[in-house]
Amino acid sequence: MARCVILLSGGMDSATVLAIARAEGHECYALSFDYGQKHRAELCAAKSLAKQLGAVEHRVMTIGMGQLGGSALTDANIEVPESGGEGIPITYVPARNTVFLSLGLGWAEVLGADAIYAGVNVVDYSGYPDCRPEYIAAFQAMANLATKCTVEGQPLEIRTPLINLSKAEIVAEGARLGVDFSITVSCYSADEQGAACGHCDACELRRQGFESTGVDDPTRYQA
Amino acid sequence: MARCVILLSGGMDSATVLAIARAEGHECYALSFDYGQKHRAELCAAKSLAKQLGAVEHRVMTIGMGQLGGSALTDANIEVPESGGEGIPITYVPARNTVFLSLGLGWAEVLGADAIYAGVNVVDYSGYPDCRPEYIAAFQAMANLATKCTVEGQPLEIRTPLINLSKAEIVAEGARLGVDFSITVSCYSADEQGAACGHCDACELRRQGFESTGVDDPTRYQA
């Protein structure tokens, strides 16, 4: 059975991607990052999801990138904003997907995996430069030259099966594949128990996704 | 004064690159990584070099990538080999330069830097895929699409001034710019005091570099 690495944040998108990777016949190695994010509850969610969705292994890797600051998600001096606003949001974390995909690339090489799955999608595309298809294509081109395995002829594909889906389509796909969305944590300001704020961009997108599909929304909100 | 990030390992190459970046008029922010390497003495060397060569700031970022294994430099079960051998050596660390450049990219964006300097060079090229000019060009193309600053039109250049130099030319350039090579640690099996083994690939390349230039070799070897 071919192996793959999944970047598993603990949110609904990466949970759905894990379910897709399994449905596509992969043995799944889930990788999460403790990078100084305020919403650390997502790491507990990732642990539960890896187990529920049948990952062979789940690792949480610590990266000291929070010390760089510059994002509302990692910097204590910048508040997570309510949803809306123009341009690239302050919740953007400098080079985050590049760092995460790079570490996934390292693990994939050690495992002899043939794919790395990541839950980037077109909705985030409106805001984050590192969620766009052209960015993923450029990362793939770089990865093809970066590692011993790719240079020696073993292909390693960056797969982003959600990249062209709306949030509603992601909900529908996850539901079809049996993802338990009650475990997932999307909120940028989730409390320690994983309850959502209901006001940030991530909460807004998630709520709209459930509303448009008619799938029951199991999100727990803060009191 | 334009800012730049320097990937500073503590070896002679990145020390020379730091001196070059300063000579090119940059305010230098040095970034080192505690990634589970056995030769941790290089981190003390990096600290001294950052100070001696006038970096404005030096950060050591912890990354848990050593847990991935797969390299003689990070895996306790794989011995660092003596020099020589065919193909990509076992000292290759999966995706290391991609991870380091990615974290450099994140810091560069937060700082508003216009360049990232890295000490990759043509000698390593014979062995490590992520030291080749075509790899660096692909990373640059990816970086151009990856960040808020590059997408918004502020260029961020990956500079590898040593890439086409021999080890001897690097020694000559470093000496010309006043790098104190006695501080630098290149050895993959350096002891806690930074003394070199004299037998690994890194020691071999370094010795040849000094021998061919006539610059005094201040390397301390283990007793």
Mean pLDDT calculated for residue range B83-99: 81
Say yes or no: A168 contacts chain B, CB-CB below 8 A. no
Compute CA A81 distance to the chain's CA centroid, rounded to the nearest angstrom: 20
Look at residue B125 in the predicted model and tell me its pLDDT: 54
Q: Which residues pair with B60 in a beta bridge?
A: B32
Say yes or no: A152 contacts chain B, CB-CB below 8 A. yes
Contacts of A59 in chain B (CB under 8 A): 67
CA distances (Å), origin A13, targets A102, A125, A163, A168, B7: 19, 14, 10, 11, 33
pLDDT in tens, B32-66: 999 888 888 999 999 999 999 999 999 999 998 88
Say yes or no: A86 contacts chain B, CB-CB below 8 A. no
Residues 6+ apart with CB under 8 A from A175: A181, A213, A215
Say yes or no: A68 contacts chain B, CB-CB below 8 A. yes
Residue B86 or A64, more confident: A64
pLDDT at B114 over 80: yes
> How distant is the Cα of A216 from the closest Cα of chain B, in angstroms?
35
Say yes or no: A78 contacts chain B, CB-CB below 8 A. no
Look at residue A9 in the predicted model and tell me its pLDDT: 95
Mean pLDDT calculated for residue range B79-107: 85
Q: What is the mean pLDDT of chain B?
A: 91
Contacts of A88 in chain B (CB under 8 A): 148, 151-152
Among B63, B68, B102, select the one facing A95 at the smallest CB separation.
B102
Mutant choice from B35, B88, B93, B98 vs A, greatest count of A C-beta within 10 A: B98
pLDDT in tens, B129-164: 899 999 999 999 999 999 888 888 889 999 999 999
Say yes or no: A67 contacts chain B, CB-CB below 8 A. yes
Least confident of B73-82, B162-171, B199-208: B73-82
Among A88, A138, A146, select the one facing B98 at the smallest CB separation.
A146
Look at residue A47 in the predicted model and tell me its pLDDT: 97
Look at residue A125 in the predicted model and tell me its pLDDT: 54
Residue B220 or B86, more confident: B220
pLDDT in tens, B68-79: 888 888 888 888
Look at residue A54 in the predicted model and tell me its pLDDT: 97
Look at residue B27 in the predicted model and tell me its pLDDT: 98
Look at residue B126 in the predicted model and tell me its pLDDT: 62
Mean pLDDT calculated for residue range B195-215: 92
> A92: nearest CA in chain B?
B148
Domain boundaries of chain B, sorted by first residue: 3-213
Say yes or no: B129 contacts chain A, CB-CB below 8 A. yes
pLDDT at B202 over 60: yes
Homologous superfamily of B3-213: HUPs (3.40.50.620)
| Crossing angle for the helix pair B167-176 and B201-213, to the nearest 10 degrees | 60
Side by side, the strands of the sheet bearing B57-62 are B57-62, B27-34, B3-7, B115-117, B157-159
Say yes or no: A129 contacts chain B, CB-CB below 8 A. yes
Look at residue A80 in the predicted model and tell me its pLDDT: 82
User: Cβ of A94 and B88 within 8 Å?
Assistant: no
pLDDT above 70 coverage of chain B, percent: 97
Would you give per-residue pLDDT tens digits along chain A (223 residues)? 899 999 999 999 999 999 999 999 999 999 999 988 888 899 999 999 999 999 999 999 999 888 888 888 888 888 888 776 777 778 878 899 999 999 999 999 999 999 999 999 877 656 788 999 999 999 999 999 998 888 888 899 999 999 999 999 999 999 999 999 999 999 988 999 999 999 988 899 899 999 999 899 999 999 8
ipTM of the complex model: 0.92
Look at residue A126 in the predicted model and tell me its pLDDT: 61
Least confident of A185-199, B86-100, B194-208: B86-100
Look at residue B75 in the predicted model and tell me its pLDDT: 83
pLDDT at B85 over 80: no
C-alpha–C-alpha distance, residues A35 and A130, integer Å: 17
Say yes or no: B147 contacts chain A, CB-CB below 8 A. yes
Look at residue A179 in the predicted model and tell me its pLDDT: 97
Instruction: Single out the residue of A63, A11, A56 nearest to residue A202, CA to CA.
Output: A11
> How distant is the Cα of A132 from the closest Cα of chain B, in angstroms?
9
List the structure tokens of B42.
């290089």
Say yes or no: A107 contacts chain B, CB-CB below 8 A. yes
Among B70, B92, B105, select the one facing A95 at the smallest CB separation.
B105
Look at residue B168 in the predicted model and tell me its pLDDT: 93
pTM, two decimal places: 0.93
Among B102, B134, B142, select the one facing A99 at the smallest CB separation.
B102
